[in-house]
Amino acid sequence: MSQAVGKNTETENCISSGSIGSIGSSLKQSPHPAQSHDAKLLNGSLASHQQQPRTNGLTHAAASSAAASSGFGSAVSGSGSSGISPAAAMAGILSGAGASTALPLPHNSNGLQSPYEPYRADDSSYVPVGHFFAGRSVFITGGTGFMGKVLVEKLLRSCPDIRNIYLLIRPKRGQEVSTRLTELLNAPLFESLRREKPKELSKVIPISGDITSEELGISEKDQNLLCRNVSIVFHSAATVKFDEKLKLSVTINMLGTKRLVELCHRMLSLDALIHVSTAYCNCDRTDVNEVIYAPPYNPDDIISLINWLPEDILDQLTPRLIGKRPNTYTFTKALAEHMLLKEAGNLPVAIVRPSIVTASLNEPFAGWVDNFNGPTGLVSALAKGMFRTMMCEKNYVADMVPVDIVINLMIAAAWRTATHKSNNLLIYNCCTGQRNPLIWSEFVKYAMCSVRKHPLEGCLWYPTGELRMNRPMNTLNCIVKHFLPAYIVDGVARLMGKKPFVVNVQNKIAKAVECLEYFATRQWRFKDDNVHALLHTLSPKDREIFVFDVRHIHWDKYVERYVLGFREFLFKQRPESLPDSRKRMVRLYYLHQLTKLVAVLLTWRFLMSRSKRLNDMWSAFLDNALKMARLIPFL
């Protein structure tokens, strides 16, 4: 499960089921009155000044209204202080003054914010994506996280003439950033590069810093280095821990973004800033277009609050502040988008919003994954025979997207943003639900088949499971199938003098399921017109190199590679162990069937002993069956 801690900033955007936390309490909170209005849709022309709000086609009056969406309109300094008193900010937020008023979507916009011209073979001005990155230096935040690693590897492998990749790395547990970089580049992910292009790895340069610190914790010397050399920035640093305290979530996801934008304004030759958000930042809406919706509160006022309110008071206010959203992660990601719109000014910015990010489809090899976040942790528990039931609407779309699809889109979005200057801040919903939907029941069916075909070593029980929408029945099954066996196994372990662990694992699984439940019992329609249009601006060769057409995903094969991937990369189990694991799975199957038979017989025996009428009916049935049998000639 996720091991995000107080300053776990080098993770990336995904739906993290491993983050231990409770979604239930926030689900039960009634939404703030201000949130009953439709969220404001911000579309407008590029501002010419940093402090001028960036919009996408609305009138100047509408843009001004968006800039002052909370009624306070005061910009905060880098420390988060604002021109208003904290008491006024607090009163405004709690009274609903922070609510946005509804603005209509421009006619015929369809969510598309910029015209796209399809690729033409006779277009001599076309610059291939790989060639575009030649001689350029890139700055990446979150580069040591799941998505960041894949991004670094892809840039080195598919853009061989790239100049340098600067990674923001935080010193951790006494390790210097150079040591952490060495560990990163020695990971299995970079094996092919180490073997075929070892010199490419020397292009990765660590930048010591911390997303939670002023000026990102980067030294003045390194800031000057970045400002002189960097032309492309990928911002994927975030905390994805669902039960993160509001203060830390705001500090990382919002203030971290604000500080990065301030640095980008100083870069001499910046051509693209790609901000990684999440498709679920607008999870309070059913239909999500590729536009920015203003949150109910001014981001500056939320930043002001976290700087002067005690943390215990913030914790009490959090459910009311986040409203319909399930956690601080989606709440602060929504605020960060709105803040980016206002702070970007004339920067060339695009936002990529992935849905649930899962193991790689093809690159650098199929099934690569390095964490138990999201569905990975639950399918792993299923494979171990420790997870059998959860609340989920089986006919709803499980909007998952492989990590390499997201990375390829990010790279293509940077290319597009830099080579086609636009007055619009473009948003790309990187999802599969519209073009190649997979429903939860199919995902579970494919996963079940795969974990039985490629079982884990040391599997505790035969993998089975069921999706339910009946909460009492689900709770009963959790007790009987999860916790009762766990306590029995741990009890036996204690008697044998061994350390019990199964109950602890079940508690972690329960918390992970609670985090994912919100997303498994609801459904969204993420429009991806910009993504589809961007795809058709690429040449056929670039489409082969930077694949993000989700229509080509074959889900049954993908899920099988997914299972093989976490078996190898998370559980460190080699393919050579599969024959023995399959033999064990056969034994577990027969044991499972025998257990069900014994359970039925014991239940029947119990009922027979408690009911004379049932006993008489059973005796009569047996008598009649014997009489019928005697009528058969050959018997």
Q: For 581-619, how does the pLDDT look when each residue is reduced to its tens digit (9 = 90+)?
A: 999 999 999 999 999 899 888 888 888 888 888 888 888
Q: For 312-343, how does the pLDDT look when each residue is reduced to its tens digit (9 = 90+)?
A: 899 899 999 998 899 999 999 999 999 999 99
Q: For 248-258, how does the pLDDT look when each residue is reduced to its tens digit (9 = 90+)?
A: 999 999 999 99
The region that residue 175 occupies, defined by phi over 0 for left and psi between -120 and 50 for alpha, beta otherwise, is beta
pLDDT at 56: 47
Of 32-36, 543-547, 604-608, which has the strongest mean pLDDT?
Answer: 543-547
The yes-or-no verdict on residue 22 having pLDDT over 60 is no
- Report the C-alpha gap between 514 and 570 in whole angstroms: 22
pLDDT at 85: 56
- Report the C-alpha gap between 19 and 1 in whole angstroms: 7
pLDDT at 629: 76
The yes-or-no verdict on residue 35 having pLDDT over 60 is no
pLDDT at 412: 97
Global pTM? 0.82
pLDDT at 90: 61
Confidence of residue 51 (pLDDT cuts 50, 70, 90): very low
- Report the C-alpha gap between 376 and 569 in whole angstroms: 12
Q: For 198-226, how does the pLDDT look when each residue is reduced to its tens digit (9 = 90+)?
A: 999 999 999 999 999 999 999 999 999 99
**Helices (H), ranges, 38-196:** 60-67, 86-95, 129-132, 146-158, 177-185, 191-196
The two three-digit tokens of residue 116, written as one number: 């796209």
pLDDT at 91: 58
The two three-digit tokens of residue 374, written as one number: 């999201």
Confidence of residue 48 (pLDDT cuts 50, 70, 90): very low
**138 in Cβ contact with 164 (< 8 Å):** yes
Q: For 266-319, how does the pLDDT look when each residue is reduced to its tens digit (9 = 90+)?
A: 999 999 999 999 999 999 999 999 999 988 889 999 999 988 888 889 989 999
**220 in Cβ contact with 208 (< 8 Å):** no
CA 372 to chain centre: 12
Relative to beta strand 466-468, strand 389-391 is parallel
pLDDT at 88: 58
The yes-or-no verdict on residue 98 having pLDDT over 60 is no
Find, among 335, 340, 3, the residue nearest to 146 by Cα. 3
Q: At what angle do helices 440-453 and 555-569 cross, to 10 degrees?
A: 50
The yes-or-no verdict on residue 172 having pLDDT over 70 is yes
Q: At what angle do helices 375-383 and 555-569 cross, to 10 degrees?
A: 80
The yes-or-no verdict on residue 63 having pLDDT over 50 is no
pLDDT at 11: 38
